Amino acid sequence: MLRLAEQHEWLQPVSLAAHIGSQITKLPPFAESAKFLVDLTEELAEMNIPISYLDVGGGLGIEYDVQNTTPGIAEWVTAVSDPISQAGYDLVLEPGRAIIGPTGLLLTRVIYTKRQGDKLFVITDAGMNDLIRPTLYQAHHPILPVRQPVTSDQQSVDIVGPICETGDYLAKERPFPPVQPGDLIAVMQAGAYGFAMASNYNGRLRPAEVLVYKDQYRIIRQRQKPEHLVDGCIDVPVWEK
């Protein structure tokens, strides 16, 4: 394919790109992939197909659990860039999740709580349409009460959304302090694959997005209104009043 591209009058191969997967929490597979790109590029050079830069993709995982064993971005950059810069190629990186995942949280309010048999449910105003990862592929997001709980007692709860669906949950059997209707809780590490996968499922309106910088904040996307669904407009620019 690259040979065909090289010979084509309108095409010029300039790069090789790899993306080996997502939420990988160890460095050796990345270093191996970078080395593979370098070896392949050198083979191509011998075939007179010069490649100038290599794209190692993304895929570095973030810590959704408490113990912090995932390498940091700096270590990841070193692991992928060393083989490539030593061989003299330019490098492109796409570490989406590792940068943006831990910076975002989904803020939601407790609507009510209910006990059913042994189970205690905390029902929130955010549901699976706002953050689909837990129900789609059993992703674990840490969830915290926004205010310091009055007691250190915890009980096992299912934190669920208000949509009438078995799959509408944010967490199952999670130890959690007692909460009351009206309390705010934060679903952490929701910056990546969170809002981007949000939907208008069941006619639910997407939430606002708020950018917080130190003690300042700015609404960068307005909360949707029903008329936005009728207009077929899913993106609400912030300047639209």
Does residue 194 interact with ligand PLP by CB under 6 A? no
Give the binding range for ligand PLP (CB under 6 A) out of 8-16, 34-42, 55-63, 129-137. Answer: 55-63
Q: Which is nearer to ligand PLP, 98 or 110 (CB)?
A: 98
Give the binding range for ligand PLP (CB under 6 A) out of 31-39, 43-51, 91-99, 120-128. Answer: 91-99
CA dist 43 and 38 (Å) reads 9
Q: Give catalytic status of residue 164 as yes or no.
A: yes
Does residue 95 interact with ligand PLP by CB under 6 A? yes
Contacting residue, 31, 34, 84, 98, with ligand PLP by CB under 6 A: 98
Q: Which is nearer to ligand PLP, 93 or 179 (CB)?
A: 93
| Cα angle 155-68-56, degrees, rounded to a multiple of 5 | 130
Sign of the alpha-carbon dihedral angle for 61, 64, 67, 68: positive
CA distances from 62 to 10, 33, 38, 70 (A): 41, 19, 27, 6
Residues 57-86 as x/- pattern, contact with ligand PLP by CB under 6 A:
xxxx--------------------------
> Which of 99, 2, 121, 116 is CA-nearest to residue 50?
2
- Interface residue list for ligand PLP (CB under 6 A): 19, 22, 57-60, 94-98, 192
